[in-house]
A and B are shown apart, each in its own frame.
Chain A
């Protein structure tokens, strides 16, 4: 299953809820959630640990807009909107953790 998260993990608990509940699958970080994909934040360890259970992707246009595309954690895959579409198509269902 594809899990789409759009909230900054530094402000809201959407990503925590997703990591707690979601069965292993793919997580796509979009909008303000892309900060979760960056090095040096207080949630970095949690995200790195989650890479054991999930494929984690982050939307590149959102990373670039927020000037953090050069800080992506190793193991996180960046995708464009076309890649976003592919992820939705590849997975049987999706949940938006808004």
Chain B
């Protein structure tokens, strides 16, 4: 099955980004596909490569990047939400791309299920 994921909250502040990631990992482990993870609202803050958590904490951003690298997951950051929050191409972590809200709607159309994680 092909899943679309929407992440509406930033990393570290709210569990949404962790729940979404662990859902993706479990889905891939079961042989499903993740069509796309779309980051909206404060969720766009999951995509900045300037993130530097302490050594003993999980790195939420590189965890997403690895998901893109290992499984070809399309990580899309909403352009309007990103620009509002200072996220641009030059501070984007590997595997992420900035695009429009149409990518979220397309994910809803193309994926078998769309699961929303947020506050």
A and B touch in the complex (CB under 8 A): yes
Q: Do residues A81 and B25 form an inter-chain contact, with CB atoms below 8 A?
A: yes
Which of A81, A85, A98 contacts B118 (CB under 8 A)? A98
- Stretch of A39-47, A68-76, A89-97 that contacts chain B: A89-97
| Dominant secondary structure at the B interface | mixed
Q: Do residues A81 and B26 form an inter-chain contact, with CB atoms below 8 A?
A: yes
Range class of the B interface residue count: 20 to 34
Q: Do residues A88 and B115 form an inter-chain contact, with CB atoms below 8 A?
A: yes
Which of A6, A89, A98 contacts B113 (CB under 8 A)? A89
| Dominant secondary structure at the A interface | helix
Chain B window 1-35, contacts with chain A (Cβ cutoff 8 Å), 1 for yes, 0 for no: 10100001000000110010011011101101000
Which of A31, A61, A80, A94 contacts B115 (CB under 8 A)? A94
With contact pairs A84-B26, A85-B32, A89-B32 given, residues A30 and B19 touching in the complex (Cβ less than 8 Å): yes
Q: Check B119 for interface membership: any CB of A closer than 8 A.
A: yes
Which of B8, B15, B112 contacts A31 (CB under 8 A)? B15
Which B residues touch A4, using CB under 8 A? 115-116
Q: Which residues of A contact B (CB under 8 A)?
A: 4, 6, 30-32, 61, 80-82, 84-86, 88-89, 93-94, 96, 98
Minimum-distance CB pairs A-B, first 4: A81-B26, A96-B116, A85-B27, A98-B118
